Structures are given as structure tokens and as C-alpha cells.
Amino acid sequence: MTPLELLLIATKNKGKVSEFRELIDVASLAVDDLTNHAPSPDVVEDGASFLENACKKASEYARRFQCWALADDSGLAVDALDGDPGIHSARWAQMHDAGKGDADNNRLLLEQMDDFDDSKRTARFMCALALADEQGRIVLTCQDSVEGRLLREARGSKGFGYDPLFFVDAHGKTTAELSSEEKHNISHRGKAMRTMVKLMREHGLLN
């Protein structure tokens, strides 16, 4: 395959945009994202898994903008909630008529977990990535995760989403207290993106 010159990060989430731009450190590759484009309809995320949603977003945005597109779908899976919020992580509060956005999502999750003791508060962040070509064909996929547990109150201000609640024992911090470098080293998205870059190089898509 011919090495890529331009890659669209198919997200409007500013936190994800920032992380992807830090993770994709390839001098020969120009990186674009949806925040640079006029508002366009969101892709309906109706897949049954993170990977299905990532593939759908990558494919539809690649066709819409006629370029290679990389999409992720990621979220928090809580064991005590049978894997929820899962693929609904970004819309968890909204689905329960409990507000909208990160703060409301975190508030609702804390309420739902209030009766669980610390040994039952295990969780993991999960990330699926999909790369599509200009015709919307899925070329590469990968997935990864990071294990942790939920605190009873938010700590840290560096992350987004559920980061202030997600405690990683090996670091003694939430992912909202970690530096960007520390977070990228252990996070679901950091590990998945390193795998994707490796796959892209192996397939001749990156120099």
C-alpha cells in the first residue's frame, strides 16, 4: 500500500482529539479531525459492541470526507453493573434522564455504585479502533483495555469522561491525576493506538 499523507480522526470529542494528536507522532502524516469541519450529522452509534461502532464511524466518515479515517469507540465497563455503561458511556446520564455530559455521567455512576463496597467496584476502560480507506472499507482494527476500580469521589482534573473516578492501583492515582505521558503509557486508547500505528507500518501505510 502507498503511505498515507492525511488521516482524519473521526471524532468531535476535544479530549480524544488532543490524545490522538499526541499519540500519532508521525512526521510524514498530516492529521485532521472533525472539529476542523463545518457541523455535519453524527453517525448513529447503534452497534452492539465498541468495535462495531468504531467500524461504522470510520467507514461513514471516510466516505463522507473521501479520505482515510480512524475512528474509536471507547467507554467504561463496570463489573457490578454487568458491563454498563459500556457502549453507552458518553450518553449514560442522558439515557436515564439524569442530565447530559461528563459531570452528570459521573454523578449518576456514583449514585448507582453507592451501595457496593470497595471489593465490588472493579472496572475497565475499553477502546476499539478502526481504520477505513477513502471508499469506507475497513482495513485495520484493534482493541485494548486497562483495569482499575471506581472511587467514591472524583479526583484530578487532567482527564475527561470518567477519568476522575477511575483509579489505577499500580500508579496510586486516577487517570485524571496522571500526566499525559503516564496516561498514554497505560491507557486503553494509548495501548490501542500504539498497536494501530504498528499495524499501519506493517501494511505500508506509514513510513
Active site annotation includes 73: yes
Marked catalytic residue, from 33, 72, 73, 84: 73
d(CA 68, CA 136): 8
Q: What's the per-residue H, E or C state across 69-81?
A: EEEEEEEEEEHHH
Q: Which three cell numbers stand for residue 156?
A: 484530578
Nearest to 24 by CA among 38, 42, 4, 49: 4
| Contact predicate 32/8, CB 8 Å | yes
d(CA 6, CA 28): 9
d(CA 175, CA 205): 31
**How distant, in Å, are the alpha carbons of 33, 59, 69, 134, 174 from that of 168?**
30, 33, 31, 38, 6
Q: Which residues are catalytic?
A: 73
